[in-house]
Structure 1
Amino acid sequence: MIRLGLLILLLLMASLAHAATDFSYGPEARQTLSVYAPPNAHDAPIIVMVHGGAWMFGDKDNDGVAQPKASHWGNSGAIFVSVDYRMLPQATPQVQAQDVAAALAYVQHHAREWHGDPSRVVLMGHSAGAHLVSLLAVTPALARAEGVQPWLATVSLDSGAVDVAATMNNPHARFYDRVFGNDPTGWAAVSPYDRMSSAPAAPMLMVCSSERRESCPANERFVAKAHQLGGKADVLPVPLNHMEINRTLGAQNTYTSQVDAWLKKNAGI
């Protein structure tokens, strides 16, 4: 009976570790985030995840966004946060980056309430979300304008718009025209590669799909420029497709182990 009670308690604790609580970081309906805080959190590191969806759709609760990531890092005592933001046509990529920055500032401000450490935050995003977190990483003024304090590291999961001009000047999916328009000046304004005028303040990991022709070359150019400016950045090519890079991170596989090793080395997580 005692063993059965202990098993039930352990299962309950595991379910609590993977449950989410929603908060609003702004007045708009899409300005919300979900916090997965394990019951054993104590001055815990925090991973803030920004979903993809071509800047036009997607949700923080979609399959593969929070899980298995929240369970994986929650089991090691970390807090996981999944962020929503406004979509096109309501919000341009620039405004979306501001939303992400506002969410990050909210997390830092409220971290202690969840037994987290506001100085130990990693910013992560996939696809369009990877573009937005990369843009924030190289434009500190944009982040500071929303009240963001320095964070530990940025992880970009297969961004399709690291170098927006290169993307637009080469064959691309038609939806990019709707997102970025036809003005090269506008492209440069939201291009992480072009906006990087000094070394990123925090280390960056640029995960790319070796199955997509332009993904790794673009991310390699980005990392090379960061190195030239004296920054710390790494590229991680993985033999997974665009969606697998998101959905399998946190599962027991080599890819998750590689990201874990990078986070331990560069962010102490």
Structure 2
Amino acid sequence: MRLRTSPAILHGPAGIAQPWGRRLLAAAAAAFVFWPGGAALAQSPCSGFAPGADRPVRNLAYQAPTSDLPRSVHLLDLWPGAAPLPAPLVVFVHGGTWMHGGKYAGTPGQARAFRKAGYAYATVNYRLLRHGPPQEAARDIAEAVAFLRREAKGCGLDPDRIVLMGHSAGAHLAALVALDESYLEGAGVPPEAVRAVVLLDAYGLDIALHVRETGDRVYARVFGPDPAGWTAMSPVTHAASGRPPPPVLMHVDGDNSETPGQAQALAEAVRAAGGEAQIHEARGESHNSLNYGFGAEGDETTRLTLDFLAARVR
């Protein structure tokens, strides 16, 4: 096989010729190596990261970039698994009314709390409303899960012990991907790989219920004016699929006028389908503190989450 290299590789960034040994190493690093069978070998994105390292592998592209979207849309950060390996994986989906936010909302405090308990942790970007409808955001999250499963061996992950966790609008997307099996199946992920779902003060679990109770026009902007679309995008619709839904834990702000009712609607749908759902009413917390306080010393939301997952995922 013949390796092709560019002048930048052969001469370096300043145009200075590199020694032959460096040229060969640079050329090999810049190219895929193809075996006769045609399979491409690529280095794991976690190479060089010791198991349990207290830093993430940042800005991993889980989909190929496209000319019509910013590159940042399809990036994630991953804290690889710590011993014992392979580690179950928590995938965090940020909130922001389906319009704003980014993977930074998956905080180092969250990552450290999960890693201390033996999990790997990833936080993902996805298409916001200006880049496409929420259906595309859900597809992105499913593709991120598929990417992490493909990289499982090199990153110390168990591809069949995955937790989807989200905050606010991100909790809606996490629940939708976990319960509407079409998203995971479309990405080539067996739905049973998602073992549990953790929702932090979720919006949009029953979109029609929200619109009836509040008259909120934001939802019509996000999900369109057609009530049939609201039904299709509501996680409660998909709780009764062909298999029992994964266990769901919902933390709600007790002072929020909407999210407790949304959580109750989903809990009833999950239980009616033969699944398990728990609701924790977090007194003294706020919509944002449920997310940004996660992992803090003595945080009850963190403790309850880890206890819930230990009995169902670990």
Coarse TM-score class (shorter-chain normalised): 0.7 to 0.9
- Displacement of 1:73 after TM fit? 1.5
SS in structure 1 at match of 2:158 = strand
Residue of structure 1 in register with 2:103 after alignment:
60
For structure 2, which runs of at least 5 residues remain unmatched after alignment? Answer: 1-49, 66-70
Q: Is the 8 A contact 2:252 2:259 kept in 1?
A: yes
- Displacement of 1:118 after TM fit? 1.0
- Displacement of 1:79 after TM fit? 1.1
Check if 1:26 corresponds to 2:63. yes
* CA–CA distance in structure 2, aligned partners of residues 94 and 153 of structure 1: 21
Q: Is the 8 A contact 1:138 1:200 kept in 2?
A: no
Greater C-alpha Rg:
2
Task: State the percentage of identical aligned residues.
Answer: 31
Which moved further from structure 2: 31-40 or 82-91? 31-40
Q: Match for 2:301 among 239, 255, 259?
A: 255
Check if 1:118 corresponds to 2:156. no
Which moved further from structure 2: 66-75 or 97-106? 66-75
Check if 1:72 corresponds to 2:72. no
- Superposition pairs for residues 55-204 of structure 1, below 5 Å? 55-62=98-105, 65-149=106-190, 150-171=193-214, 173-198=216-241, 200-204=244-248
| Alpha-carbon spacing, 1:147–1:75, altered in 2? closer, same or farther (3 Å) | same
Q: Is the 8 A contact 2:252 2:280 kept in 1?
A: yes
Q: Is the 8 A contact 1:72 1:250 kept in 2?
A: yes
- Displacement of 1:105 after TM fit? 1.0
- Displacement of 1:232 after TM fit? 1.6
Length-normalised TM-score, structure 2: 0.76
Number of residue pairs aligned between Structure 1 and Structure 2: 254
For structure 1, which runs of at least 5 residues remain unmatched after alignment? Answer: 1-12
- Displacement of 1:16 after TM fit? 3.5
- Displacement of 1:147 after TM fit? 1.1
SS in structure 2 at match of 1:121 = strand
* CA–CA distance in structure 1, aligned partners of residues 277 and 222 of structure 2: 27
- Displacement of 1:15 after TM fit? 9.6
| Alpha-carbon spacing, 1:247–1:120, altered in 2? closer, same or farther (3 Å) | same
| Alpha-carbon spacing, 1:14–1:145, altered in 2? closer, same or farther (3 Å) | closer
* CA–CA distance in structure 1, aligned partners of residues 293 and 300 of structure 2: 10
Q: Match for 1:37 among 66, 80, 96?
A: 80
Residue of structure 2 in register with 1:241 after alignment:
286
Q: Is the 8 A contact 1:38 1:75 kept in 2?
A: no
* CA–CA distance in structure 1, aligned partners of residues 56 and 81 of structure 2: 8
| Alpha-carbon spacing, 1:43–1:187, altered in 2? closer, same or farther (3 Å) | same
| Alpha-carbon spacing, 1:167–1:142, altered in 2? closer, same or farther (3 Å) | same
- Displacement of 1:200 after TM fit? 4.4
- Displacement of 1:172 after TM fit? 5.1
Post-superposition CA distance 1:206-230 (Å, at most 9, x none)? 2211110121122112111211111
* CA–CA distance in structure 1, aligned partners of residues 269 and 201 of structure 2: 18
Q: Is the 8 A contact 1:85 1:100 kept in 2?
A: yes
* CA–CA distance in structure 2, aligned partners of residues 39 and 188 of structure 1: 40
Post-superposition CA distance 1:229-268 (Å, at most 9, x none)? 1112211211211111111111122221111111112222
Post-superposition CA distance 1:51-83 (Å, at most 9, x none)? 111111111024xx2221111112233211011
* CA–CA distance in structure 2, aligned partners of residues 48 and 15 of structure 1: 17
Q: Which has the higher contact order (CA 8 A, sep 6+)?
A: 1
SS in structure 1 at match of 2:197 = strand
RMSD: 2.0
